[in-house]
Structure 1
Amino acid sequence: MKNFFLQLILLFFCLIFACPGYCEPPEADEGERDAETYNHLETFANVLDLLQKHYVDKVESGEVLIGAINGMLGSLDPHSSYMSPEDFKELQEDTKGSFSGIGIEVTVRDGVLTVVSPIAGTPAYRQGVKAGDQIVRINNISTQGMTLPDAVKILRGNQGEKVTVTIRRTGLNELLDMAFVRDIIPHHSVVAKKLGNGFHYIQVTSFQATTTRDFKKVLRKAGQEGVIQGIVLDLRNNPGGLLDQAVQLVDVFLESGVIVTTRGREKENDMYFEADRGKTRYTFPAVVLVNGGSASASEIVAGALQDHKRAVILGTRTFGKGSVQTVVPLPNGAGVRLTTARYYTPSGRSIQATGIVPDMIIPFEEEKITGQGGGSTALLREEDLPHHFENNSQGKNEGQVKKKKKNIQVPKGTAAEFADRLAGDNQLQVALFILKKMATSLHRH
């Protein structure tokens, strides 16, 4: 029976990885390592055999094996995970359209579901959910030990349905009970407002299918209305998204030079992204706003513009997610999200677990109380996540540039609403002041 389970496990792993190399005989110099792996698999088979024979309740082998896969991936880093066929299908749909939920990016930190960032314009954002909030219950169900996909399933649902969330927030003695009405969370990622006298505010809330296309539309429209004196690019609480969109957005600002490089274990997959000189040249000054909720793709943008001295980076230290994830489909319709590379800024620095340090560190006034972005209380960052990669490597990489395209809409608000926002946003106020000084200095030269 033991040998049967051992053979079953070996066959299972060969099928899961769906790669002939995993089932080929080991090379001589890898024999010792593979022997150790075989011993661990035998131990796994022994434990499974014990469960089948002696566990108090009947054990479903499929559920146990899926749990083992989740545990294996969870022991590696916070961003690698297994997706069931249903989860994988939802992921594919999310990248193409919209979904119904409350509008938050979440992760699991020390076994607790934690908010990375609320998505602008969503129910969670409007009701004041903050980065770093811990979600301890959803619909009165404890999230302790709950997997991230299971939590996301509960948070999502049909539009118009209610969901209650209990939050633990740093600095508050009591838990917060919040009730949300699920709404469609569209892939809106570009919000534009005029700051007057040729200055413009452009917020990118995430990097989705058509982020760069919509960003260019905003710039073209602004240029048709008059000379662009400068822009404030707001990447605060931007959790990231598609790598190619971040690359293409940086390309709008640069005529040449490296944008980002990625390097992983398999050198043939290393990629080297470089700017292409476009038809339209944009030479206006720019200030980029970032905070502790700016992660992944938004850090690629900030790091590239900072290294090329194309923009002033203002705000507080970013999240520090310097790794690249690849989604690999499996034969049974499921998928695996694997961390396959680290990325590096044009100067060759890795921001993994360290983040982008702004040129000007300006805490948001409320952050001193809530901890959003570098105030007196700690904000969740990559370095706080269990099993996060250490920043122990530097260097530049070579490879081919790979780019894609996609689409979104631009949500609108009233001028009065934005005026109120400007009045209560000290970081934006400082950014506009600096932008005007930069424009004046540019005209003098």
Structure 2
Amino acid sequence: MVPYFQSITRIILCIITVSLLFSSFAGAEISQKEKEATYKQLEIFSNVLSILQENYVEKIDTEEVINGAIRGLLFSLDPHSSYLPPENFRELQEETRGSFSGIGIEVTVKNDILTIVSPIADTPADRAGLKANDLIVEINGVKTRNMGPYEAIKKLRGPKGSKVTIAIHRAGWEKLKKITIEREIIPLQSVRAEYLSPGFAYIRITSFQSHTTRDFKKKIHKLKKEHSLKGMIVDLRNNPGGLLHQAVTLADFFLDSGRIVYTKGRKEDQNTVFNAHDNGEDNSYPLVILVNEGSASASEIVAGAIQAHKRGIIVGTQTFGKGSVQTIIPLPDGAGLRMTTARYYTPDDRSIQAKGITPDVEVPFVACAPSKEKKILKKIVKEKDLDHHLSGTDNKKTKSDDTETALAKRFLKDNQLRSAYNILKSLNLFSKFTGAKSQN
């Protein structure tokens, strides 16, 4: 009688044989020598499984072992390719459509170590002080060495109100730091919009989900009803990326023509060029894009396109450098295959992979201590704050006074935003000056 495990491996061999034959018809360049080498290795794999099935100290779970082999196969290729069991595949689909319960971070494997790509803004991870490039050494006491991103995400997620403890190492730290974080529902409303001052808009995009560009346009049109736009800051800091198409359509909003991004893979059908179109809107106002080391993937596509076309100024710090494209292939049993199929390039032919986007104006983030903040705010004194000052014709407190105070406090906590705002106002003044000069 042929052991059940042997029959499973033979089925796997048949499937792979068919797939190799199909690949040859589809145009994949697989030589006869490569096919023979593949069959030989698969025969070894089949023999090892049979030996384990008959002689291993404990009974082997067939499904678990095969899934483990598939995960190991993909993990050996690159950090972003992975096998997604049905449960993980469903979670991935939820991420782009609804919400999930967790701490709010994107992770990857960098130099064989589980690494934070970015904490999502206004989430438990962000409030706990986690940063891009922090190394996660343990999750609830379990070492993360050789742990894939999706396995880690599964451990980090859990019911709302439950807690997870992670051990973090950061460059410059001598010891690991253990942080306990309470999980929350992480909503995927990825766009927030407001005016920093009349006419100067601030748009925060936390990730690129299926509805990001649509929500962005709605919020812009709402802002335009309040004031005419004089300039815009798009904040992509700690944005780990998301859907390629959403990054393309967002960049297209600001560009009228030319390439946005293009991809190159091994096969001809993996090479794609995405071009901008004239959307009929007046988007000629000054633009500043804020980025940092947590800006990755789709965020880098937007920043790279804006920079290449000289449509705006990129401000902040060097981005993460994730320049590869992943294709999700559903499998018959409800699982999914997440596979790296191409690299993407900016319109001026730059590869972002492992390099990132270099800002036009580099501004490292400098945190302001609360005590220092209070001292600085006390020094901000105007005529109206002096004792016995002469009254103006209208001595009433105005809404703009409150706005200026709130903005001053906000800028003390965020020096990168302050720099972006100052650059934006300077660009606005320059455009007015050059416009007036051309009319004379």
TM-score of the superposed pair, with normalisation by structure 2 = 0.83
**Cα deviation digits, residues 242-295 of structure 1 (max 9, x gap):** 111111111111111111112222212422211121132210011111111111
Contact 2:256 2:277 in 1 (8 A): yes
Give the match for residue 336 of structure 2. 335
Q: Which of 412, 425, 429 is equivalent to 2:418?
A: 429
Shift, 1:4, TM fit: 9.7
Give me the identity figure in percent: 52
In structure 2, what residue type is equivalent to 1:362? V
Shift, 1:441, TM fit: 1.1
CA separation in 2, counterparts of 1:83 and 1:183? 23
In structure 2, what residue type is equivalent to 1:340? T
CA separation in 1, counterparts of 2:225 and 2:2? 74
Give the match for residue 355 of structure 2. 354
Pick the structure with more helix per residue: 2
In structure 2, what residue type is equivalent to 1:62? E
Give the match for residue 12 of structure 2. 12
Report whether the alignment pairs 1:194 with 2:195: yes
Give the match for residue 284 of structure 1. 285
CA separation in 2, counterparts of 1:143 and 1:210? 33
1:270-419 equivalences in 2 (<5 Å): 270-366=271-367, 419=408
**Cα deviation digits, residues 305-363 of structure 1 (max 9, x gap):** 00100011111111111111010011111110001111111122221111111112222
Change (3 A) 1:41 1:192: same
Contact 2:89 2:336 in 1 (8 A): yes
CA separation in 2, counterparts of 1:199 and 1:89? 40
CA separation in 1, counterparts of 2:28 and 2:307? 45
Task: Answer with 310-319 or 357-366: which moved more.
Answer: 357-366
**Cα deviation digits, residues 403-431 of structure 1 (max 9, x gap):** xxxxxxxxxxx997765332222221121
Contact 1:235 1:294 in 2 (8 A): yes
CA separation in 2, counterparts of 1:230 and 1:261? 28
Contact 2:286 2:428 in 1 (8 A): yes
CA separation in 2, counterparts of 1:316 and 1:27? 40
Contact 2:230 2:428 in 1 (8 A): yes
Contact 1:17 1:330 in 2 (8 A): no
SS in 2 for 1:128: coil
1:14-413 equivalences in 2 (<5 Å): 14-15=14-15, 19=19, 21-22=21-22, 30-366=31-367
Q: Which of 409, 425, 429 is equivalent to 1:440?
A: 429
Contact 2:164 2:183 in 1 (8 A): yes
Contact 1:291 1:317 in 2 (8 A): yes
Shift, 1:8, TM fit: 4.6
Change (3 A) 1:6 1:344: farther
Change (3 A) 1:329 1:15: farther
CA separation in 2, counterparts of 1:213 and 1:82? 31
Change (3 A) 1:177 1:28: closer
Shift, 1:29, TM fit: 7.9
SS in 2 for 1:259: strand
In structure 2, what residue type is equivalent to 1:326? T
In structure 2, what residue type is equivalent to 1:154? K
**Cα deviation digits, residues 197-239 of structure 1 (max 9, x gap):** 4212111111112211221122212222222111111111110
**Cα deviation digits, residues 28-61 of structure 1 (max 9, x gap):** 9821111111111111122222222332222223
**Cα deviation digits, residues 60-112 of structure 1 (max 9, x gap):** 23222211111111111110000111111221222210011111111233443
Bigger radius of gyration among the two: 2
SS in 2 for 1:302: helix
CA separation in 2, counterparts of 1:126 and 1:245? 27
SS in 2 for 1:107: strand
Q: Which of 401, 409, 412 is equivalent to 1:420?
A: 409
In structure 2, what residue type is equivalent to 1:344? Y
CA separation in 2, counterparts of 1:169 and 1:29? 44
TM-score of the superposed pair, with normalisation by structure 1 = 0.83
Change (3 A) 1:148 1:424: same
SS in 2 for 1:157: coil
Change (3 A) 1:126 1:20: same
Change (3 A) 1:18 1:136: farther
Change (3 A) 1:296 1:415: farther
Structure 1 runs not aligned, ≥5 long: 368-413
CA separation in 2, counterparts of 1:196 and 1:225? 11
Change (3 A) 1:13 1:219: farther
